[in-house]
Amino acid sequence: MDSIGLDNIYFEKVTVNFDDRFTLSEIDWTIEPNQHWVITGTNGAGKSALAAVLAGVGEIENGTVIGLPKNVGLVSFEAQAELIAKELKKDDADIMDVISLGTPVHEMIFDYCQDTALAQALVEKFGLSTLLDRAFRKLSTGETRKVMLIRALANRPDLLILDEPFDGLDVDTLAMLQDHLASIIDSTPMIMVLNRFDEMPAFITHIAYVDKGKLTLTVDKSDENAFNELYQLLHLKTTDLNVPQADPANKLPALDPSQPLVRLNQATIKYGDTIIVDKLDWTIERGQHWQLSGPNGSGKTGVLSLITGDHPQCYVNDIFVFGFQRGKGESIWQIKQFIGYVSTSLQWEYRVSTSCKNVIISGFYDSIGMYSKSTDNQKKIADQWLTLLGMEDRADQPFNKLSYGDQRLLLIARAMVKHPPLLILDEPCLGLDDMNRQLVLALIEKICEDKETTVLYVNHHAEDQIKGIENYLGLKKNN
C-alpha cells in the first residue's frame, strides 16, 4: 500500500468537554498513516464523542492533540441533525416575512465540494439525480444521509470520519458505499464508529474500544487473539440475550421472601488477642448487590467464611443466613445449596480436562468435573450460557486449554446455572489482564441485570465500579 499523505495524529492525556453534556478523559491514542480505525463500544460510552474530536468538536481542557488535519470529512447523526436544524431556521416566517422553501439538494452538494465530477458520479450512484431540486429538509432520513456522504467524499478529505455510516441505507446503497470506500483506502485514511462488528469492512486495520468516556483498549486487527477477545467483550456488553433460566428439575427450595439473605449481628473474628473483624453489622437483602472491599488482612475472606459456614467462629457469632440461625442444627450443605461461589483457589482446583460445556453442567452437581449423566435440559442450558459468553464454538474444547480469563467466565457460569440466591465472587479479576478483566466485569453486569440472584463482589479496590452494584462495604485493617 502506498503511504497516505497524513502525519501521525497524537492524543496525549487528553480530556475533552462537550458543553458539560459529556466528557472524554485521559485519552492516549496514536493514529498512523495507512491505518484505518473502527471506534466501538456500548451505547453512551463516548464513541461518537471521540470521533468528533478528530473533526475539531469539543473543548480540550487538558492534554495535547497533535497532527489533526484541516480538511476533515465528518458524517454523523449529530452533524446531520445540525444541518437540518439550520434549514428549519429558514422557516421562521415572522422574521423573514416569506415562506422559505429551503436549500435545494444540488446546492447542498455542489456548493460544498472540491471535486464536482466525483460529486456528480456519486449522485448517480446514490440515486439522487431526481432529487436535486428538492429542498434538503424535505428528504427522508436515508436520503439526507446520502447527501452527507456525497458531500464528505467529494471534498477529498485528508481524514474521513464516518459515524454509523451504514445505518438507514438500503442493501444496494450499502454495497455500493462499501465498494467505494474500499476503492479509496490508499488515499484516504478512515475512522468509523460502528456498534456491530459484522458491518466492519475488511480494510479496517485497528479497533479502538471506548468505555465510560475513556479509550480503554486499542487492538491491531491482525492480532487474532486480541481481536477475538474484543469481539467477545462487545458481545457480552451489547447482546440482547438474558441470563439463561434455571433447570426446573434442579429447583432450589423456596426461601422466605420477607427475610434477608444474610444478617450479621456484631460479628467478630479474632485469633487470640488479635481482632480481625470487630463487631460488624451487615444485612444483605434479596436483589441488593454489594461490593466488599478492603486491603489484605482486613478480614474479607473471613467474613465470606462466616456466611458460607466454612469459618470455625461462625457458630460463636450471631449469624442468620437464608432463614437459618447459625448453630441451630442446620447442615453446611443446607446453606451452600443457596450460594454460588467463584474464587481463584477454585480455579486452581478445577484442573480436570473436561469440556467447556461440561464445566457449566457440573454446576448442577456442585462437582469438579462430571461424574453423573447430564440431562437434555441441562445440556440445553449449558449451550445457552456458552452463547451468552460468545463461546458457543468452543463447547467441546478442554477447559484446561483455555485462556485464564475464559476459564474464569466459565466458572462464573457454572456457579450461576442453578440461579443461587447469592453469588459470591471472591476477587474474580485477580490474575487477569485488562481485557479479560473487562470480560469478567461485563458478565457480572449482565448477571446483576437478572433479578433472581444477588451478587456479592469482593475485591481490593473500591474504585472498581460495576453497573448494577450500588451498595458498598469497606473493611479496614485493624492495627
Distance CA 151, CA 112 (A): 7
The number of beta carbons lying within 10 Å of the beta carbon of residue 388 is: 20
Closest CA to 306 of 260, 366, 264: 264
Local structure of residue 250 (DSSP, 8 states): G
Give me the DSSP letters along 48-110: HHHHHHHTT-SEEEEEEEE---S-EEEE-HHHHHHHHHHHHHTT-HHHHSS-----BHHHHHH
Question: Cα 134 from chain centroid?
Answer: 42
Segment holding 120, helix H or strand E: helix 116-125
Comparing 196 with 440, the larger pLDDT belongs to 440
| Domain with 387 in it | 248-474
Per-residue pLDDT at 479: 64
At which of 215, 238, 261 does a domain end?
A: 238
**Domain match, 268 and 404 both:** yes
Angle at 228 between CA 187 and CA 215, to 5 degrees: 65
| pLDDT band of 97, cuts 50, 70, 90 | low
Closest CA to 158 of 189, 204, 203, 182: 189
Residue 479 lies in a domain: no
At which of 205, 238, 271 does a domain end?
A: 238
**Domain match, 231 and 261 both:** no
Stretch 76-89: mean pLDDT: 80
Distance CA 247, CA 324 (A): 25
**Domain match, 207 and 311 both:** no
**Tens of pLDDT along 222-263?**
999 899 888 888 888 878 888 989 888 888 888 888 899 999
> With contact defined as beta carbons under 8 Å apart, do 289 and 468 qualify?
yes
Q: Which residues does 217 contact at the CB level (< 8 Å), separation at least 6?
A: 207, 208, 209, 230, 434, 435, 438
- In this prediction the pTM is 0.74
Per-residue pLDDT at 100: 61
Comparing 402 with 207, the larger pLDDT belongs to 207
Distance CA 263, CA 320 (A): 5
**Domain match, 98 and 167 both:** yes
The number of beta carbons lying within 10 Å of the beta carbon of residue 77 is: 17
Distance CA 8, CA 397 (A): 42
Residue 31 lies in a domain: yes
**Domain match, 444 and 363 both:** yes
Say which residue the cell 480538511 belongs to.
71
Stretch 21-31: mean pLDDT: 91
**Tens of pLDDT along 173-207?**
888 899 999 999 998 999 999 877 778 899 999 99
**Domain match, 305 and 179 both:** no
Residue 313 lies in a domain: yes
**Domain match, 289 and 335 both:** yes
Say which residue the cell 423573514 belongs to.
96
Per-residue pLDDT at 91: 59
Percentage of the residues of the chain whose pLDDT score is greater than 70: 94
Q: Sort strands 22-31 and 9-18 into parallel, antiparallel or unpaired.
A: antiparallel
Per-residue pLDDT at 191: 95
Closest CA to 156 of 107, 194, 112: 112
Comparing 416 with 366, the larger pLDDT belongs to 416
Comparing 351 with 225, the larger pLDDT belongs to 225
Q: What is the maximal distance between C-alpha atoms in the chain?
A: 91
**Domain match, 200 and 320 both:** no
At which of 212, 238, 264 does a domain end?
A: 238
Distance CA 163, CA 166 (A): 9
> With contact defined as beta carbons under 8 Å apart, do 350 and 359 qualify?
yes
Distances (CA, A) of 100 to 84, 136, 423: 14, 12, 63
What cell was used for 417?
A: 446455572
Closest CA to 138 of 189, 102, 185: 102
Comparing 228 with 100, the larger pLDDT belongs to 228
Residue 338 lies in a domain: yes
**Domain match, 458 and 401 both:** yes
Q: What is the CATH number of the domain that holds 227?
A: 3.40.50.300
**Domain match, 349 and 453 both:** yes
Residue 3 lies in a domain: no
Domains in the chain, number: 2
> Any idea which of 83-92, 129-138, 264-273, 336-345 has the lowest mean pLDDT?
83-92
**Domain match, 187 and 279 both:** no
**Predicted confidence (pLDDT) at residue 2 exceeds the cutoff of 60:** no
> With contact defined as beta carbons under 8 Å apart, do 255 and 420 qualify?
no
> Any idea which of 47-51, 369-373, 446-450 has the lowest mean pLDDT?
369-373
**Predicted confidence (pLDDT) at residue 463 exceeds the cutoff of 80:** no
**Domain match, 232 and 259 both:** no
Burial (CB < 10 A; 0-12, 13-18, 19+), residue 250, is: middle
Residue 1 lies in a domain: no
| pLDDT band of 1, cuts 50, 70, 90 | very low
**Predicted confidence (pLDDT) at residue 95 exceeds the cutoff of 70:** no
Distance CA 91, CA 83 (A): 14
**Tens of pLDDT along 123-181?**
999 889 999 998 888 888 788 888 999 999 999 999 999 998 888 777 888 888 999 99
**Tens of pLDDT along 301-320?**
889 989 988 888 888 889 99
Residue 430 lies in a domain: yes
Distance CA 398, CA 272 (A): 46
Segment holding 248, helix H or strand E: none
Distance CA 76, CA 39 (A): 13
> With contact defined as beta carbons under 8 Å apart, do 189 and 180 qualify?
no
Distance CA 134, CA 218 (A): 43
Residue 2 lies in a domain: no
> With contact defined as beta carbons under 8 Å apart, do 367 and 415 qualify?
no
